[in-house]
Amino acid sequence: MLIIQKGRDLRIITVVCCFTFFCFNTSISLAAKELDAREIVSKVEKKLWSNTSQGRYEMTITTAYWKRTLKMKVWMQRPEKSFIRILSPAKEAGVGSLRVRDEMWNYLPKVERTVKVPPSMMLQAWMGSDFTNDDLVKESSMIDDYTHELIADEKIKSEPVYQVKSVPKPNAAVVWGKLIYHVRKSDLMPLSFDYYDERGRLIKSLIFSDVREMDGRQLPNRWEMRSTDKPENSTVIRLSEIKFDRSIEANIFTLRNLRGR
């Protein structure tokens, strides 16, 4: 009987050890997945843009000398196509921006002129804001044009946060030297993006806040861009309405549509 009991105990110990080993390795696997920088960036991009998005935005530009608000409608079919049409004020109404793959055009209705934007102008301010042409039409692909590295865990307002560094690949046609993401761990909500030039200087930061539900998902409703060299300036984008993953008519992303014809 003693031998039988010992055998039974040995089997129990073996089962417990195997179960413990399985749980330990599973936790390691989950932790590794949690720390996958590329996946973090991918999920943030999916949360903000999805495959397609269309909606109304309000952009308020503030400088030391003036302030104005633009209302606009935006269509995006990631990663290749973007279209923006300004709705108001009357002075800028009808102005449009179109990107199809690596080409971009702006339409100026007052002079009825379509201007092609060269790659060298992608870092230029869009409509006098702190957002560049590249920021607004998303010429570069954050997932495919950059390599991503988890560089630190930190806390912001007592919330655990991922810090991810994204560096452009050698042959990628991008405008930034690197970007630093701050992403809340609990729900992968973006808190801020820091933009650096090729010399490693911080140029500007995009801060996200005012999280609310829009089209069935939690999103930051307020996006504020601030430039390092002009601290008195800021540009705030608010999402008035947005819809994700709805089909978009192909003629939206055409020069004919850009000209309003």
Q: Could you give all domains of the chain from N- to C-terminal order, each with its CATH number?
A: 38-258 (2.50.20.10)
Cβ(221)–Cβ(210) under 8 Å?
Answer: yes
Tokens of 216: 């069935």
3-state secondary structure 133-185: HHHHHCCCCCCCCEEEEEEEEEEECCEEEEEEEEEECCCCCCCCCEEEEEEEC
Do the beta carbons of residue 51 and residue 77 sit within 8 Å?
Answer: yes
Rounded-to-integer distance, Cα 64 and Cα 229, Å: 13
Confidence of residue 155 (pLDDT cuts 50, 70, 90): confident
Q: What is the pLDDT of residue 234?
A: 96
| For residues 63-73, average pLDDT | 94
Q: Which residues contact 5 (CB under 8 A, 6 or more apart)?
A: none
CA 35 to the chain's CA centroid: 19
| pLDDT at residue 140, rounded to an integer | 61
pLDDT for the residue 223: 97
- Output the CA–CA distances (angstroms, integers) from residue 78 to 52, 72, 91, 128, in the order listed: 6, 19, 30, 25
pLDDT in the model for residue 34: 52
DSSP for residue 132: B
Rounded CA separation 122/216 (Å): 33
- pTM, to two decimals: 0.81
Asked if residue 231 has a cis previous peptide bond (ω within 30° of 0), the answer is no
Identify the band that residue 68 occupies on the pLDDT scale cut at 50, 70 and 90.
Answer: very high
- Residue 23's pLDDT is what? 44
13 pLDDT band (50/70/90 cuts)? very low
pLDDT at 207: 97
Residue 118 clears pLDDT 70, i.e. is over it: yes
Q: Is the pLDDT of residue 124 over 90?
A: no
**pLDDT (tens digit per residue) in 157-203:** 778 999 999 999 988 777 789 999 999 999 999 999 999 999 999 99
Question: Residue 24: pLDDT above 70?
Answer: no
Mean pLDDT of 117-142: 81
- Give the pLDDT mean for 43-54: 92
Give the pLDDT of residue 157: 75
Q: Two tokens at 233?
A: 């300036």
The pLDDT tens digits of the residues spanning 50-64 come to 999 999 999 999 998
Task: Give the model's pLDDT for residue 17.
Answer: 44
State the pLDDT at residue 242: 96
- Stretch 245-253: mean pLDDT, rounded? 94
- Flag whether pLDDT at 233 surpasses 90: yes
